[in-house]
Structure 1
Amino acid sequence: MSANPIGFVKEYWRILLLAIFIAFALVALFIPGGIMADDSLAGDLEEDEENQTIEESMSNIEYGIGLDGGTRVSAPPTGMMVDNIDLESEQHSELESSLYTELGLETADATVRHHEDEDRYTAEVFVDDVSAADFAAVIAEYDADVSEDDVENGVTQETRDRMVQTIEQRVNEAGLSGGQVYQEATVEGSYYIVTEVPGMSPEELRELLADRGDVQVQAYYPDEDGNQTNETVLHGEDDFSRIGVASYNDEQGYNYVPVTVDDTEDADGNSAASEYQAAMNEYGFTSEGIQQCGIQDREAGEFDFDHDQPQWCLLTMVDGEVVDAHSMGDRLGSNMASGEWANDPTFEMITPTQQDAHQLAVNLESGALTAPLDFDRQQTFSVEPALADQFKTYSLLIGILSVLTVSGMVFLRYRNPRVAAPMVLTAMSEVLILLGFAAMIRMPLDLSHVAGFIAVVGTGVDDLVIIADEVMDDGEVSSQRVFESRFRKAFWVIGAAAATTIIAMSPLAVMSLGDLRGFAIITILGVLIGVLVTRPAYGNILQRLLTDK
């Protein structure tokens, strides 16, 4: 062994690299927060420590529904689309308005999208009560080449991507760990949005996914003729810059969500905050409308829109339904009347219950689901927590049994602990590094991943046996040069086998094939870690044991 530290590093860098990987894996597995701590999550927990609890665990490993219980719901988006519409740029908003008016749709139920990278337009509707003929007829007013045959079932890739992002945010905002949301293609060419959440029943998950979560604040006020009218003054995530945590006012006894309206000015010097303030002043909310809303019976949870006296109410709407109706307060009305409110545009959105407040905060934070899911074509899979605990126990037992079996066969094969012990320990370090990587990226482990870990143990020991046999079967290892020659020969065999495995598993890793995907990903990662880290390290260890170096 070299007494020079630099020489020692050059000689045993493979073993040192393995030690570094093991150290990182241990940190990712057992240090709270791991290597890639989620600062946003930590901030949310600090803000809402009274309303949320953290399930303590010995490690940072997250489990999927197969090992933790939970539900998987697959459902396609509701909608149809027309691609490659020939439009001029000024016709973009005109076609969108025509879809709303001629098909009788809400603004959230249709969109026209310009794909700048390909310079093409697509139109989509997200309801199932509009016929393809009517949809095509509206578009044909702007592009005469469009016919009913051009209408496709489904939505665009951009819409699906946005839906996946929104559902992911909903799952995270609900405080659920280990959830996964992804797209899955069918052989017919349609797409399903797949949502997996551990610890949720099918009913709870469907409830989370069923709501579009389209939040609006509408002004309900008397117009110039004295007739009550509605006007949307704030719309969902577009007009809010910050969403607070669902809270409770102890002094006045109501649940609310604190929000901040966006005060970023556009080219004309207007902002959502200034426009909201101007609307409140124009509609009389800051003068005769202060404290003039009495349409809600909070105890009964009912709203009375058949009234004699004029009402000035701010209605909180979720998916077109009134959740709450409250009046303009004296202090807020005074600040808006003076124009000071726009400098600090915050207010409280009141809800009847704490659960409603939490759901409102989730909807505001995640945004509205671009298209509803078609639950008539849903596929549901669920595992009870008690059964998942059994799977977890059996998985651990099978893993231990596989390690003991492989270790026993290795010791019987070589009958030399100096060769067999490092082989088994190196193979186990490969599994430890994989577990650390899974914990670091917060990959929820499922039964398919467990199968992948067992396969990694087997293939890992196979490769180490190839190294040992190639080095030892051709006679005594008399020098470092002889060892390195035999090791390189064995490593070529291992490298070719690894390449074959990766090529064979790659389609399973990228295609939407359910549990097979998890098995393929773990197997590929195990092969890469083995070829790049553990196999070279074992070569260094074996060289030290069999030569005088």
Structure 2
Amino acid sequence: MLDPIKQNWRVLLLVVVIIAASVALFAPQFAPDTAPGEDPDEARQGLTNLQYGLDLAGGTRIRAPLIGYTATGVEFDGDNPSEVAANVAEQLEGVSAREVNAEELDEQGGEVEVTDPDVTEDEFRSAMDASGYAYNDIRRGVTAETREAAESVIRGTINEAGLSGGSVQQVQSITGEWFMLVEVPGEGRQDVIDLLEDRGTVQIDIGYPDEDAEDGLGVEEEVLVQDDFENIGTASRDENDQPYVPVSVINEAPEGEQSPAHRFQDAVVDRGVASDTGGARCTYMEDPVGETNEPCLLLVVDGEVVNAFGMDDGLAESMVGGTWADSGNFRLTTTSFEDAQQVSINLRAGALPAELDIAGEGTSAFISPTQGENFRFYAMITGVFAIFAVAGMVFLRYREPKVALPMIVTALAEVYALLGFAALVGYPIELAVIAGFIAVVGTGVDDLVIIADEVMSEGEVKSRKVFDSRFRRAFWVIGAAAATTIIAMSPLMVLSLGDLSGFAIFTILGVLIGVLITRPAYGDILRRLLTVR
């Protein structure tokens, strides 16, 4: 006789999954992440670790495109991206190089975008033609790199504001247009719009040794502020694979005033960042404050130092000689490409790389907490009704509790496992996700009915061998049906279609749990209940 554990390992696997789901749902270790200063117990939306989306918790959802135009397939003719951006910006009246970005791609040519909201498509097309760069086409919208930068800036803004549960993602419409989808639970529509449009403070200070300072470090603040930059490039690598961010400082000023570039040049020389002996070797981020003898350039975002830089000898020489301010170009070098990307984002922080068209093509919605609570109640009623409806039909079909009851329990186990997964990964429960749960119950019971009908179709099951033969025939059918469902739902999961992605993800996951865990477990249970020997 076979060992009981070996005979029923599928049922034991289902039990393990249910226990793991229970831990994810109720254990405090898996509670949602809290915002700074927030009580961890308040982050739990109820007795479980489940997080609810806007549909069920209330809040604001904003879906809007980034304003801009992009020229594709651009031939740079040997110019670097900064030169291309500057040359195109010169052809646009009232537009700075900071509002024109260029990116050189490997195969299909480069891309040039303009993010000034006042520039029309015809004006941009004329500027591209006048600059002399050949291109394939001009489309509405910004580049993927700008969308990613905007997503990072918005996410950082939400996190800094301490808005628990807020999210941002890129979504694509069926027509190919890209939108930024921002969801913030528990916040009013205008508050979220104001938050997205609020401009944070970004500046470069100089930190230098000062014996009179309390911590040994003196700081000259606002040597450069965000408006002093003419252009902020994207993260790049030099010929030695060193990551950096190219920037340029405005080197022109009204008569009688000093330009930001000349002001910055004088400051770094006065504080010793640049000297006759070369540039400073900054160790600010590694050494305790006041213990370094080298001055540093400090990147400060909303009052917090997020990065520090020294200066190479070549740049220092041009600073001391007074020639650097004629161009205003320099590089902020980092130790990793990820740091370079973050520096570029920080320099743009508070101001998106392109404006959100909230008032134009954007849409926004606000769901009150009371309405969200009503949605949760009605969703629960709908789920309970679906369960009882399925249970009733199954009992009417078989009239045998030993067949129908395990069927209902197994189907509910699938939903419970899905809830545990949602709690584990922190996926917010939306109405679309609940629709996916109901679809899982329906398809799951369909498969279990196929198994029961196939096993009982030829009368009494007299042996394990007969049962296994009939079960395998049924399993081939439900396996093919599962593959069809997965293939049909995959486009909805892959494409960025908002709520439909959640529906597809949980439907596919439910099908996989069913085929790999719950259907085999139901087969073991049915074999034990129906097999004569």
Q: Same fold (TM over 0.5)?
A: yes
Deviation of the 1:127 alpha carbon: 0.9
Q: 1:49-68 maps to which residues of 2 (within 5 A)?
A: 49=37, 54-56=42-44, 57-68=46-57
Partners of 1:52 and 1:19 in 2: how far apart? 29
Deviation of the 1:102 alpha carbon: 4.8
1:281-302 alpha-carbon deviations (Å, 9 max, x no partner): 546799xxxxxxxxxxxxxxxx
Counterpart of 1:70 in structure 2 is: 59
Counterpart of 2:224 in structure 1 is: 232
Counterpart of 1:328 in structure 2 is: none
Counterpart of 2:400 in structure 1 is: 416
Q: 1:255-294 maps to which residues of 2 (within 5 A)?
A: 280=267, 282=269
CA root-mean-square deviation: 4.0
1:340 aligns with 2:340: no
Partners of 2:370 and 2:388 in 1: how far apart? 27
Counterpart of 2:18 in structure 1 is: 22
Partners of 1:127 and 1:344 in 2: how far apart? 30
Counterpart of 2:158 in structure 1 is: 171
Choose which of 63, 75, 79 in structure 2 pairs with 1:86: 75
Letter in 2 for 1:460: G
Q: 1:12-411 maps to which residues of 2 (within 5 A)?
A: 12-34=8-30, 48-49=36-37, 54-56=42-44, 57-103=46-92, 104-116=94-106, 118=107, 120-140=109-129, 143-146=132-135, 150-211=137-198, 213=200, 215-217=202-204, 232=224, 280=267, 282=269, 340=293, 342=295, 368-375=351-358, 376-411=360-395
Counterpart of 1:307 in structure 2 is: none
Letter in 1 for 2:451: I
Relative to the length of structure 1, the TM-score reads 0.69
- Is the CA contact (8 Å cut-off) linking 1:233 and 1:279 kept in structure 2? no
Deviation of the 1:385 alpha carbon: 0.9
Q: 1:484 to 1:177 in 2, by over 3 A?
A: farther
- Is the CA contact (8 Å cut-off) linking 1:114 and 1:122 kept in structure 2? yes
Deviation of the 1:406 alpha carbon: 2.1
SS of corresponding position for 1:151: strand
SS of corresponding position for 2:28: coil
Q: 1:214 to 1:464 in 2, by over 3 A?
A: same
1:448 aligns with 2:440: no
Q: 1:463-474 maps to which residues of 2 (within 5 A)?
A: 463-474=447-458
Counterpart of 1:294 in structure 2 is: none
Q: 1:15 to 1:74 in 2, by over 3 A?
A: same
SS of corresponding position for 1:115: coil
Deviation of the 1:231 alpha carbon: 5.8
Deviation of the 1:96 alpha carbon: 2.2
Partners of 1:217 and 1:343 in 2: how far apart? 10
Deviation of the 1:137 alpha carbon: 4.7
Q: 1:140 to 1:339 in 2, by over 3 A?
A: farther
1:168-221 alpha-carbon deviations (Å, 9 max, x no partner): 3333343334434333334554322222222121112212222465723489xx
Partners of 2:348 and 2:18 in 1: how far apart? 38
Partners of 1:516 and 1:102 in 2: how far apart? 43
- Is the CA contact (8 Å cut-off) linking 1:181 and 1:196 kept in structure 2? yes
Partners of 2:346 and 2:133 in 1: how far apart? 39
Deviation of the 1:442 alpha carbon: 1.6
Deviation of the 1:429 alpha carbon: 0.6
Q: 1:346 to 1:195 in 2, by over 3 A?
A: closer
Letter in 2 for 1:157: A
SS of corresponding position for 1:166: helix
Partners of 2:165 and 2:38 in 1: how far apart? 22
Aligned residues between the structures: 436
Structure 1 unmatched ranges of 5 or more: 220-229, 240-265, 287-334, 352-361
Deviation of the 1:232 alpha carbon: 2.2
Letter in 1 for 2:154: I
Deviation of the 1:496 alpha carbon: 2.2
1:425-478 alpha-carbon deviations (Å, 9 max, x no partner): 111110011111112222111112112212211221221122112112311111
SS of corresponding position for 1:382: strand
Structure 2 unmatched ranges of 5 or more: 207-221, 234-241, 248-260, 274-288, 305-344
Counterpart of 2:503 in structure 1 is: 519
1:498 aligns with 2:451: no
Letter in 2 for 1:97: A
Deviates more, 1:50-59 or 1:163-172: 50-59
Q: 1:90 to 1:107 in 2, by over 3 A?
A: closer
- Is the CA contact (8 Å cut-off) linking 1:62 and 1:442 kept in structure 2? yes
Deviation of the 1:422 alpha carbon: 1.6
Q: 1:470-485 maps to which residues of 2 (within 5 A)?
A: 470-485=454-469
Q: 1:107 to 1:204 in 2, by over 3 A?
A: farther
Partners of 2:299 and 2:65 in 1: how far apart? 38
Deviation of the 1:374 alpha carbon: 1.3
Partners of 1:24 and 1:535 in 2: how far apart? 18
Counterpart of 2:472 in structure 1 is: 488
1:507-539 alpha-carbon deviations (Å, 9 max, x no partner): 333345444443333222211211111001100
Q: 1:187 to 1:214 in 2, by over 3 A?
A: farther
